[in-house]
Chain A
Amino acid sequence: MLSLIELSIGMVLVFILLTISLPMDVEYHNAVKRAAYNPAARLAACAAVVGLALYSPVLAFLGLLVVFFWMSDIQLLTKRRVE
């Protein structure tokens, strides 16, 4: 059974997951997506997910989804090569 804190953090993570793939017509998304280029930011995000796994499997799974889509989005943006 999830505690209230776990449930609230999970809802926030799901909200991030749902909004992170929106078109970049808001400056906030622009800055968040750009951070995925930074290796240190990626490392911190991966470490945070693993740290989350120490406390709750459900939250770790949600965090894993968020980080995966966050890193994939920027790679999808860069996959089209300029000739």
Chain B
Amino acid sequence: MNPVPNWMPPLSFATILTGVCVVGAAQADKLPSVIPQFFLHPVGFILTGLIAISCYEYNQLPLAVALVLFLLSLWSARHASVSSVSSVPTSNEGFQTFVPSGTIDWVNNEKQKWFVERVLKETPLGIQDKQVNTYPVQTESSGSFR
């Protein structure tokens, strides 16, 4: 009698878990906040690290690497998002962390640099603020005479 049910895919549990960890590591900044909250809690972090070490001991090296990569990606993404919310901006450089796709113009290598970029030796990755709205000076008396 075959102990593996028919509905199971022809993959081991470790392989499936490795795939899930790889996808999770690649999409770490888009995961629901509950998942990083659990895995980055000291208990969850140490527990996952112990699982990774035991996987290494049981010759499941890909799963161990995937778990470590998943933890590091979560930590890195969380660190970036927390910094973007809590820190006081010290510079006008940088992009918003979560922006709709298509709102950043990527600077390709063929594009001729602006004068200020050449002078300041800047190599920007992209341009986010492409439009500047200016308005005429508004005074209290504009448009109405009392």
Residues in A lying within 8 Å of B, measured CB to CB: 24-25, 27, 30-31, 33-34, 39, 42-43, 45-47, 49-51, 53-54, 57, 60-61, 64, 67-68, 71-72, 75-83
Check if B44 is an interface residue, CB within 8 A of chain A: no
Contact pick for B68, options A24, A34, A64, A77, CB 8 Å: A64
A contact residues around B18 at 8 Å (CB): 50
User: Across the A-B interface, how many residue pairs have beta carbons closer than 8 Å?
Assistant: 111
Residues of B in contact with A, size category: 35 or more
Q: List 29 A-B contacts (CB under 8 A).
A: A24-B125, A27-B109, A31-B109, A34-B106, A34-B126, A39-B26, A42-B27, A43-B22, A43-B27, A46-B22, A46-B66, A49-B65, A50-B65, A50-B66, A53-B62, A60-B62, A64-B65, A75-B29, A78-B96, A79-B87, A79-B94, A79-B97, A80-B83, A80-B84, A81-B84, A81-B89, A82-B92, A82-B128, A82-B129
